[in-house]
């Protein structure tokens, strides 16, 4: 179990604290929804959680098979609904892998990516395409 505490600081800004590590995290409402965009928005954190979970889960699977993914790069693009209620409708992830594609590596790592805990926790109505770019392709 992990506890996160925090405080609303006014002007649509929150400060959260990850108790196990003591690491702080600020959020701010986005520019397109009454905020200053001075930090990650809560929905930005959802997008970030997904793509970092994908990368971490892939690295765990790779480690078990003696594959090093150091240098893996990622990007996620978040799209919000244009109708009410405001919600995330699409999280498109791209990953640039530092290794060449083999059938075995693709089966292992792409399965890990699609089955990370955050992906399994998101509303199934959110479109979540993942594009893999293998070294040398």
pTM of the shown model = 0.93
| Cα(27)–Cα(41) distance, integer angstroms | 5
Three-class SS of 8-20:
EEECCEEEEEECC
Query: In the structure encoding, which two tokens stand for residue 58, read together?
Result: 């892939």
Query: Is residue 32's pLDDT more than 90?
Result: no
Which helix (H) or strand (E) segment holds residue 61: the answer is helix 42-64
Of 37 and 66, the one with more pLDDT: 66
DSSP letters, 102-119, are -HHHHHHHHHHHHT-HHH
The pLDDT of residue 102 is 96
Average pLDDT for the chain: 96
Q: What is the DSSP letter of 86?
A: P
CA end-to-end span of the chain: 41
What domains can you pick out in the chain, each with its CATH number?
A: 4-33 (no CATH), 42-133 (3.30.300.20)
The pLDDT of residue 56 is 98
């Amino acid at each position: 179990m992990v506890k996160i505490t925090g405080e609303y600081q006014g002007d649509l800004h929150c400060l959260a604290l990850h108790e196990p590590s003591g690491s702080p995290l600020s959020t701010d409402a986005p520019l397109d929804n009454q905020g200053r965009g001075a930090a990650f928005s809560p929905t930005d954190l959802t997008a970030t959680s997904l793509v970092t979970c994908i990368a971490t889960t892939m690295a765990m699977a790779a480690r078990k098979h003696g594959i090093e993914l150091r240098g893996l790069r990622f990007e996620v693009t978040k799209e919000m609904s244009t109708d009410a209620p405001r919600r995330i409708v699409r999280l498109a992830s791209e990953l640039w892998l530092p290794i060449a594609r083999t059938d075995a590596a693709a089966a292992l790592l792409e399965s890990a990516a699609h089955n990370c805990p955050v992906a399994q926790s998101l509303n199934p109505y959110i479109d979540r395409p993942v594009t893999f770019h293998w070294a040398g392709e």
